Chain A
Amino acid sequence: MEALISIIIAVLTGCGVYLMLRGRTFPVIIGLTLLSYAVNLFIFVMGRLHSGAPAVIGAGDRYTDPLPQALVLTAIVISFAMTAFLLVLALRARAELGNDHVDGRPTAEDDAQ
């Protein structure tokens, strides 16, 4: 199971980073969402994988680690706030600059590689 989780995190990170390196705002935001999934999962599994053992006292005889869960819960909410902020920023940028390139350029063929 650990291998599956590692693969999931790897795929999410890779896809997220690739999309974040794109030149238009919307794919970047999608990439950021993917990356935040990966990061949230990563923090979550730092408490190790426990099946059928929620951290509710009395629900069973063993419990998973509640602390990473609490951290991730707020992280999810915060990343929602950040995504929303970025989306509106993208709208504003488009209104001000007339295009949706992250560098504010209408034509985006960038030679400086």
Chain B
Amino acid sequence: MTLLLVIFLPLLGACMPLWCERYGRTVCAFSAAVAPLISIGLLIYHLPVIFAGDVLFFHQEWLPLLGMNLSLRLDGLSMMFGLLITGIGLLVILYARYYLAEKDSLGKLYGLLQIFMMAMLGIVMSDNILLMIVFWELTSLSSFLLISYWSIKSEARKGARMALMITGAGGLALLAGALLLGDIVGSFSLSVILASGDEIRAHSLYPVVLILVLLGAFTKSAQFPFHFWLPHAMSAPTPVSAYLHSATMVKAGVFLLARMYPALAGTDLWFYIVTGTGLTTLVFAAYTALFKHDLKGLLAFSTISHLGLITMLFGLNSQLGAIAGIFHIINHATFKASLFMAAGIIDHETGTRDMRRINGMWRYMPVTATVAMVAASAMAGVPLLNGFLSKEMFFAETLHLEALGHYAWLVPLLATLAGIFAVAYSYRFIHDVFFNGEPIDLPKYPPHEAPPYMIVPMAILVVLCVLVGTLPNFTVAPFLDAASLAVIGTEMPSYKIAIWHGFNLPLVMSFIALAGGLLLYYQRKGFFAFYERQYRRDEKIVFEARVQRSVRLAQSITKRLETGSLQRYLVLFVGMAIVAAGLELWPLASFTGGVATTPIDGVSVLATLVLIVGALGTVIIHHNRFAALLLLSVVGLIVALIFVRFSAPDLALTQLSVEVVTIVLMMLSLYFLPQVSPSESSRLRISRDILLASAAGIGMGLLTWAVLTRPYDSIADYYLANSVSGGGGTNVVNVILVDFRGFDTLGEITVLAIAAVGIFAMLRRLRLPVPNADGTGRVWSKDPYPPILMVLARILLPLALMVSFYIFLRGHNLPGGGFIAGLITSVALILQYVASGTDWVQQRLDWPYRSVAAGGVLIATATGLASWVFGYPFLTSTFTHVHWPIVGEFELASAMVFDTGVYITVVGATLVILSNLGKLAQTSYDTPAETTQEESPWKP
């Protein structure tokens, strides 16, 4: 549990400084320090256990089916990193309090820093590789926000975007690698993965996994050729740089190398890729660092170079190499954090970071100068400082590379060369800034010594550098032992950190580097001139150009695919549907199955012909919309007849009544739409559409034929057997609707009611031009209510209502039911609207139809709920038979109440739609005939 606290306290702590900012900057800083302090305290509390060689675990299931769990571990490596992250984090919090200007929000910086801290702690303490990737991505995201802290600066935004893109892409590769690893091992648990190193290395996918994981590590650790994001991330506030580029962010990459060392290292592939990349980065970045005039630019490239060194040490496949790598992680974190802080102080006091202008600072800030000089010496690898020890170990390791055969001498040579550059740029940092004459044209003059609390965190780190450098065995040794144990396993080689190993080759290399570096620095003029002559591309410009290019490419592809034309989308959609169905139908040996067909009779052929004529006719004359509508209703009637022909009286009744309502609705709408569709499709488009439509039609026909001529099995028997006994009705279709599948029906009527409400909403405040002539130019009659229709409609109303009541009542046992009865009632009422007008009906029948529809749904739902009251599942039905005088035996079923709900919903919804559409004519406005003609190309 404490492990969980270690990670998530900083997350909780992230809110504190934001809240405390109003009470002043010091309170804010203290509030920010609370959570990391507790975290580091908890870590130190566990220190004895870790030193004893034990590992602490915490396990909480999260998504066990995906293999992702909240599993944490605390071993030597996590402990070492955890202490660095929280410790340097605390120092950075103190430093930032005095670094940040009054106008910048301290709370925001602290909040982001702690989120970042949480993510880093999560990476180093995850025992589940997927969980680790979650935290890994969190560091990418939070570092994006930290780098772009001064988001008004374009530099900061671009730098942050570059960092996010490179590390994000690496994270993606890492995720792929982790998924493959999990696939190979069968678990995402880090403990399992680390224990299955042999299995992983022997697997055929090992090279793929290795390259993917290394991509993740190299992008994060800014290894060549992914290094270019790091110098641009320097646009972050210096406390952020000090944190991200010393102990955290970039160290996550080398942490991954250390963490995965037992699982992935030990092969030739590992050696060549990791050592090669590390060595290239080491030499290249050390060389470049020397020529950077920007103080932070120099430190940035020096960071890249040192990361290359660490990477290379892990790549050597030697246990001592890995130990040296871990050691250098600690050393680099301490001296580099303090150097960044020094750079921040100088920037803060002089207003610039250009080393050509900052000179002679020794006189203005002696304390800062002393501390910074010690740190820079540690970076150079001067004896008695920590950098010397790990660099010495590095030199020693480069001497035993038997794998390279005759070229083995090349590595120590390059390593020494990098050492020379490192000394040169470190010495440049000291000499250019603190000596070398007088400052030139400083924005702030004269510079002062920094406030003591800015120097304190820096000094603490430098004291550590000295202590580790002079007394390694009393300070760093136990940490190093514990961390190494976690990386290389139980077989620890005997090694000794010592300042004096005797006069040997590594020592000679160290001295060559020191002497060569000083010499190089004093001959710098020629080298600088040489460097300036080189043509160099600005990575940022290249990067931005490439980003822009890919954005443009994406835009052009999107534009081509998404034209915004629904017509076009539908073509693609139908085309895809035909292809998809065709692929399935194609392998069929024969479309005709083995089942015999039923005989054809003359009436059916005639009806089919009428339907075909109707359907094709609708298409052919569709430009004349009204005529097409009439032909469409013919098709609808024939469909109803087909239902009759094949034993579906319920469907026939429904189809008939829906047909009436639909046609009325379409006519009403057509009144407000152009009467004629213009002939605007090109010949090519018409041919294409005919082709598509024919393919779709023939496909559906063949499919139907193929299905109908094959045997089938149905669950119908269950419904037929249980309809009377279980549902109390003989009309099985109705019993299915209101009883067996009542829940479905409840859904359907809800949809109906929602559609009605949606239509109501769309019709509100809708104003449309009202044409005063029909499609053929005849003026609409000003006498809208013909007396004969009016009289007939009024007589029909009670009759129709009675029929619908009858249909409703008998529905459970004979064709009929709520749906059909509702539609019949609606038709009868609509007829009144048509015959006598909205006003007339509303005076007599002022129902709020929306509430009626809603009420219907409620009744149906309440019926369902009622069965809960009696302890049955939702919508359980019951029925009983009562004997009424005259009527005789009569059945009462709870399903009938449900059906009443259906009935009321159908009536309500239909009338909401139609009455509101009918009202539209009143709210709309008359337009002169010319306007209507303009909109339809038709000429009277």
Determine the residue in chain B with the shortest Cβ distance to A63: B720
B882 CB, min distance to chain A CBs, angstroms: 20
Is B712 a contact partner of A48 (Cβ separation < 8 A)?
Answer: yes
Given A44-B646, A44-B651, A56-B815, verify A1-B759 contact (CB < 8 Å): no
Contact for A9 among B648, B701, B709, CB less than 8 A: B701
How many residues on chain B are close to A (CB under 8 Å)?
Answer: 115
B752 proximity list for chain A (CB < 8 A): 77-78, 81
A25 proximity list for chain B (CB < 8 A): 673
B734 CB, min distance to chain A CBs, angstroms: 8
8 A Cβ contacts from A49-108 to B:
49-59, 63-67, 69-70, 72-74, 76-78, 80-85, 87-92, 94-95, 98-100, 102-103, 107-108
Question: Mind listing 20 A-B residue pairs with CB under 8 Å?
Answer: A8-B642, A9-B701, A13-B696, A15-B618, A18-B692, A26-B674, A30-B632, A44-B651, A45-B704, A49-B646, A57-B732, A63-B716, A66-B732, A73-B737, A76-B654, A84-B665, A91-B669, A103-B564, A113-B684, A113-B685
B543 CB, min distance to chain A CBs, angstroms: 34
A12 CB, min distance to chain B CBs, angstroms: 6
Q: How many angstroms between the C-alpha atoms of A99 and B599 in the bound complex? A: 50
A2 CB, min distance to chain B CBs, angstroms: 4
Given A56-B815, A90-B673, verify A82-B731 contact (CB < 8 Å): no
Contact for A8 among B570, B608, B758, CB less than 8 A: B608
Given A6-B708, A7-B701, A48-B708, verify A21-B647 contact (CB < 8 Å): no
B interface list, Cβ under 8 A from A? 563-568, 570-571, 574, 597-600, 604-605, 608, 611-612, 615-616, 618-619, 622, 625, 628-629, 632, 635-636, 639, 642-643, 645-651, 654-655, 658, 661-662, 665-666, 669-670, 672-674, 677-678, 680-682, 684-685, 688-690, 692-694, 696-702, 704-705, 707-709, 712, 714-716, 719-720, 723-724, 730-733, 736-737, 741, 744-745, 748, 751-752, 755-756, 758-759, 762-763, 766-768, 813-815, 819, 906, 909, 913, 917, 920, 935
A75 CB, min distance to chain B CBs, angstroms: 9
Q: How many angstroms between the C-alpha atoms of A19 and B648 in the bound complex? A: 29
Is B597 a contact partner of A2 (Cβ separation < 8 A)?
Answer: yes
Contact for B647 among A26, A64, A95, A98, CB less than 8 A: A64
B694 proximity list for chain A (CB < 8 A): 14
A65 proximity list for chain B (CB < 8 A): 714, 716
B225 CB, min distance to chain A CBs, angstroms: 42
A44 proximity list for chain B (CB < 8 A): 643, 646, 648, 651
A13 CB, min distance to chain B CBs, angstroms: 4
Q: How many angstroms between the C-alpha atoms of A85 and B692 in the bound complex? A: 26
Q: How many angstroms between the C-alpha atoms of A63 and B900 in the bound complex? A: 27
A57 CB, min distance to chain B CBs, angstroms: 4
Is B646 a contact partner of A7 (Cβ separation < 8 A)?
Answer: no
A-B contact count (CB 8 A): 315
Q: Is the interface of B mostly helix, strand, loop or mixed?
A: helix
- Inter-chain pairs besides A26-B670, A74-B744, 17 sampled, C-beta below 8 Å: A3-B705, A13-B693, A15-B616, A21-B571, A22-B689, A27-B625, A34-B618, A34-B635, A42-B704, A54-B815, A56-B731, A57-B730, A67-B714, A70-B733, A81-B756, A88-B759, A88-B763
Given A56-B813, A72-B651, A80-B661, verify A51-B622 contact (CB < 8 Å): no
Q: How many angstroms between the C-alpha atoms of A4 and B660 in the bound complex? A: 26
B571 CB, min distance to chain A CBs, angstroms: 6
Is B766 a contact partner of A91 (Cβ separation < 8 A)?
Answer: yes
Given A6-B708, A22-B677, A78-B748, verify A69-B733 contact (CB < 8 Å): yes
A74 CB, min distance to chain B CBs, angstroms: 5
Contact for B605 among A4, A17, A19, A70, CB less than 8 A: A4
Determine the residue in chain A with the shortest Cβ distance to B725: A57
Is B693 a contact partner of A21 (Cβ separation < 8 A)?
Answer: yes
B909 proximity list for chain A (CB < 8 A): 81
Q: How many angstroms between the C-alpha atoms of A40 and B714 in the bound complex? A: 18
Q: How many angstroms between the C-alpha atoms of A94 and B935 in the bound complex? A: 11
Given A82-B755, A85-B758, A109-B682, verify A37-B639 contact (CB < 8 Å): yes
Q: How many angstroms between the C-alpha atoms of A59 and B642 in the bound complex? A: 20
Given A6-B702, A77-B906, verify A57-B748 contact (CB < 8 Å): no
B756 proximity list for chain A (CB < 8 A): 81
Given A54-B648, A94-B768, A102-B567, verify A24-B677 contact (CB < 8 Å): yes
Is A1 a contact partner of B755 (Cβ separation < 8 A)?
Answer: no
Is A52 a contact partner of B701 (Cβ separation < 8 A)?
Answer: no
Q: How many angstroms between the C-alpha atoms of A78 and B697 in the bound complex? A: 23
Is A74 a contact partner of B642 (Cβ separation < 8 A)?
Answer: no
Is B758 a contact partner of A14 (Cβ separation < 8 A)?
Answer: no
A17 proximity list for chain B (CB < 8 A): 574, 692-693, 696-697
Is A6 a contact partner of B636 (Cβ separation < 8 A)?
Answer: no
B564 proximity list for chain A (CB < 8 A): 103
B562 CB, min distance to chain A CBs, angstroms: 11
Contact for A91 among B625, B643, B758, B920, CB less than 8 A: B920
Is A6 a contact partner of B599 (Cβ separation < 8 A)?
Answer: no
Is A112 a contact partner of B563 (Cβ separation < 8 A)?
Answer: yes
Q: How many angstroms between the C-alpha atoms of A40 and B762 in the bound complex? A: 28
